Amino acid sequence: MKKYLLIGLFILIGTNLTALGGVAYNRMGEATAQLTLTERELSLPYNNRAEKENSGISLSINWRTSSRPTTTSSSSNHFSSQDLKITESELNDLGFDAFDVERNSWVESRELYWALEFDGDLYLAELKKAELNYQTAVASYEEQPSDINSRDIRNSKKRLQRERISNSRLFFLEAAGNYDTLADKFSQQQNIIIVKGLAKPYYNKIQNNYHLRLKYLSVRNIMVPLEYTEVLSSLTSNYYIDIIPPRYAVDIKWGSRLEPWIVDAKELIK
């Protein structure tokens, strides 16, 4: 019995040492990126109070894709999709085999390199869409007052407020099969981070085209060091319907393994 306990203990120690070694390696040398994100991009867990009792808090990374425009002005008819239409050549460049994708719907997901843009052109474009949506709704109501048009004004106004105040400004920009492709392309842009994420391809037989489904980041949550938990532990999580300014800001670095860690956290003055 003691023999198996010792074996289990050695395995546990070895696993922890490996994990600590990976953390140390990730933080060696110069950071690959550094950003200051807010509650808009880093959300508290829904059970934050329970997390507090366990002396640990993790923040979820909120990223988005650009919304697709529609032919109607209603704010309920805009949406973001994590499915991207790509060409056969792009699919092959990502390391997938287009032949297999077309004939096999069970192609496995693959870890790719993702470029994410923070508070840049993609966010500005999203903000403009929301502003145009609101202006269109107002114009439609002025031309033809109705309950439907009045509702569109209310919805589009909320969408605009949410976009200005609380929505994430971290957008998916591009995926690649290797790190250097993205690092070289965006080396001059300080608001671009390169991370790892899972994606799965599929073939649409009806439309006769290929798609890439973005699934999730390889590292989706960031643990808050104990010295910074006091800033966050008294807060409760917000819901999507809440439109309130961010209550905290967090300085984050990404290391050689493209994994993030927190270097500072502060409460924002209301």
- pTM to 2 decimal places: 0.86
Contact at 8 Å (CB) between 244 and 263?
Answer: no
10-residue mean pLDDT series, the chain (270 residues): 50 44 71 96 76 70 86 51 91 90 84 98 96 96 94 95 96 97 95 97 91 96 93 80 90 96 90
Cα distance between residue 258 and residue 127, in whole Å: 29
Q: Give pLDDT, residue 15.
A: 47
Nearest alpha-carbon partner for 261 in 10, 7, 34: 34
Burial of 232 (0-12, 13-18, 19+ CB in 10 A): buried
3-state secondary structure the chain: CHHHHHHHHHHHHHHHHHHHHHHHHHHCCCCCEEEEEECCCEECCCCHHHHHHCCCEEEEECCECCEECCCCCCHHHCEECCEEEECHHHHHHCCCCHHHHHHCCCCCCEEEEEEEEECCHHHHHHHHHHHHHHHHHHHHHHHCCCHHHHHHHHHHHHHHHHHHHCCCCEEEEEEECCHHHHHHHCCCCCCEEEEEEEEEEEEECCCCEEEEEEEEECCCEEEECHHHHHHHHCCCCCCCCCCCCCCEEEEEEECCCCCEEEEEEEECCC
Phi-psi label, residue 225: left if phi above 0, alpha if psi -120 to 50, beta otherwise = beta
Number of Cβ within a 10 Å radius of residue 250: 24
Q: What are phi and psi of 176, to 5 degrees?
A: -150, 160
Cα distance between residue 131 and residue 78, in whole Å: 13
Q: Give pLDDT, residue 1.
A: 53
Q: Give pLDDT, residue 13.
A: 46
List the Cα angle 32/33/39 in 5-degree steps.
Answer: 145
Q: Please, how many CA atoms are within 13 Å of residue 37, restricted to the half-sphere of its CB? A: 33
Amino acid present at 240: Y
Q: Give pLDDT, residue 100.
A: 86
Q: Give pLDDT, residue 4.
A: 47
Q: Give pLDDT, residue 16.
A: 44
